[in-house]
Amino acid sequence: MNGKSIRYERDLPLGEPCDVAVCGGGPAGCAAALSASRSGARVVLLESQGQLGGAATSGLVSHWLGGRTRGGDWVVGGLFRELAEAAAAEGFALLPTADAHTLTPHGWIAGLAHGVPFDPFAMARLLDKTLAAAGVDVVLATQAVDALVEDDRISHVVAHNKSGLQAIPASAVVDATGDADLAHRTGCPVLAGREEDGLMAPASLEFHVCGVDQDALAEYIAENKEPRFRALIADLRERGQWPFPYDIFISVQLQEKGTMMINTTRLVDVNGTEGRSVSDGLVRGREEVAELFAVMRRHIPGFAGAHLKAVAPMLGVRESRRIEAQAHLTVEDVRQGRDWPDTIGYSAYGWDMPDPKRPSHQPFHGKGHEKPPFTAIPFGVMVPRGVDNIVCPGRAIGVEREVLGPLRVMAPCMAMGEAAGMAAAVVAGGGRFAELDAARLCDGLRRAGAIVDSQALPAP
């Protein structure tokens, strides 16, 4: 002991060996596990929550964004399209469309018409069934807490659940934690937050409401041209009725009229990589949800008779660690619409990284920050430096901070996960992610229905 730490040693029981260990069962992790298993690998998927789906289900961000155009054309294919269409066919998800000027209840502003809203419980069940059918060994309520490294390769993933600690032999690892937890703990270099001060985008605690009078809500929005209620909120703040640090109200209709996701809370000064900060954010978030819902019922048209349906048990974190990767995607790359020899997917989403201290301010909105409608994702941004057999799909990728805006949402994360899983099935046989044959990987993704070529993209 040295006053700040204590050495802890014990022998760990060995779990069943696998070819690919996927750590995290959110959109990127589920796609990675499916892709690796369909590529012939033995896959174990470790998910800390009690259900699959991550932020989409446990976080109640039940709206897959970034994979379709306003007109309903697919920008992300492969597993994202397969799961979205399966959910729509079962009746618990929608595939809405709108033109460039139409307000839509699925986020109200026209640019959000391309999302896929759904019921989170039904989505978790669909993921259960789909991964089981693919032969993935899913272990819920289990967290990957560490890994053992030998000769620059992870040999075992250390997991913890009610059975205690165990070491799972793995030939390749997909770190789909969103926070680069395994990459960081095995010594891969990472960055976090803004370059100047390390501050991160605000977190949110999502909640769902039912019994909304959407006709009244839509009528107010149309008459006042106020999809985000800025004028009403400014008036409420002036009268001391709006105590929150944000200036906009965001509601999203889910799979049925009258049921809405409220994506309004913005919790500043939350660090998603620090346990105490996450805990405090959850407590603060629940208090804010109660206060906000009371204000909604009093002042937001259509919500007077609404009922609180669910509050997320999981904090929605927009930003935490980013790996130092084999490739680095910059703002200028995105602005120029640069494509890559190892492009494994695209995003149809725009800039969306709220200011850490001013949660309704988007620094990259407005003149001078225009970008093409689609952003290409190179495989290399998922490959961390330092360890040969780990890959990090999702919002922990190696990009300039503002580039997380178009890439951190769920459809592009699923595109990254699908590519990561297919690559992991190869690396499990030996080799390094950094030396993977990109042309062969892209061929495999094409055969799986993924969109990896700019000429295959729809008209914007």
Determine the pLDDT at residue 113. Answer: 62
Arithmetic mean of pLDDT over the chain: 96
Locus of tokens 């989403």: 349
Lowest-confidence segment of 75-84, 111-120, 271-280, 416-425 by average pLDDT: 111-120
Q: Give the mean model confidence (pLDDT) for residues 65-74.
A: 93
Closest CA to 49 of 124, 130, 135: 124
Does the pLDDT value for residue 130 go beyond 80? yes
Partnered with residue 116 across adjacent β-strands are 64
| Structure-model confidence comparison of residues 404 and 98, the more confident one | 404
Q: What percent of the chain has pLDDT over 70?
A: 99
Locus of tokens 């979205």: 84
Token pair of 199, please?
């501050």
Length of the chain equals 460
Residues 6+ apart with CB under 8 A from 258: 210, 211, 212, 213, 214
Collapsed DSSP state (helix, strand, coil) of residue 416: helix
Collapsed DSSP state (helix, strand, coil) of residue 392: coil
Token pair of 91, please?
């009746």
Determine the pLDDT at residue 182. Answer: 98
Q: Does domain 18-92+116-197+319-349+371-456 have CATH number 3.50.50.60?
A: yes
Determine the pLDDT at residue 262. Answer: 98
Instruction: Put the strands of the sheet holding 207-210 in their side by side order.
Output: 251-253, 260-262, 207-210, 307-311
Token pair of 38, please?
């369909």
Radius of gyration, alpha carbons of the chain? 21
- At 238-295, the pLDDT tens digits run 999 999 999 999 999 999 999 999 999 999 999 999 999 999 999 999 999 999 999 9
> To the nearest 10°, the Cα dihedral for 238, 243, 247, 250?
-130
Where do the CATH 3.50.50.60 domains begin and end in the chain?
A: 18-92+116-197+319-349+371-456
- 362 vs 353: CA distance, rounded Å: 6
Helix axes 78-89, 410-427, angle to 10 degrees: 120
How far does Cα 338 stand from its chain's mean position? 23
Which whole-number Å values give the CA distances from 334 to 198, 316, 407, in the listed order?
23, 25, 11
Determine the pLDDT at residue 459. Answer: 87
Q: Give the mean model confidence (pLDDT) for residues 157-175.
A: 98
- 345 vs 77: CA distance, rounded Å: 8
Token pair of 251, please?
């509601």
- At 227-240, the pLDDT tens digits run 999 999 999 999 99
By CB atoms closer than 10 A (0-12, 13-18, 19+), residue 2 is exposed
Q: Find the helix or strand (DSSP H, E) in which 38 lies.
A: helix 27-38
Does the pLDDT value for residue 321 go beyond 80? yes
Q: What is the DSSP letter of 399?
A: B
Collapsed DSSP state (helix, strand, coil) of residue 147: strand
Locus of tokens 């006709």: 215
Determine the pLDDT at residue 386. Answer: 95
CB 208 within 8 A of CB 261: yes
| Structure-model confidence comparison of residues 186 and 71, the more confident one | 186
Locus of tokens 């960081």: 184
Does the pLDDT value for residue 83 go beyond 80? yes
Determine the pLDDT at residue 2. Answer: 60
- 111 vs 123: CA distance, rounded Å: 24
Closest CA to 210 of 159, 163, 257: 257
Determine the pLDDT at residue 453. Answer: 97
Residues 6+ apart with CB under 8 A from 309: 207, 208, 209, 210, 259
Determine the pLDDT at residue 1. Answer: 52
Does the pLDDT value for residue 111 go beyond 80? no
> At residue 376, what are phi and psi to the nearest 5 degrees?
-80, 145
Determine the pLDDT at residue 334. Answer: 96
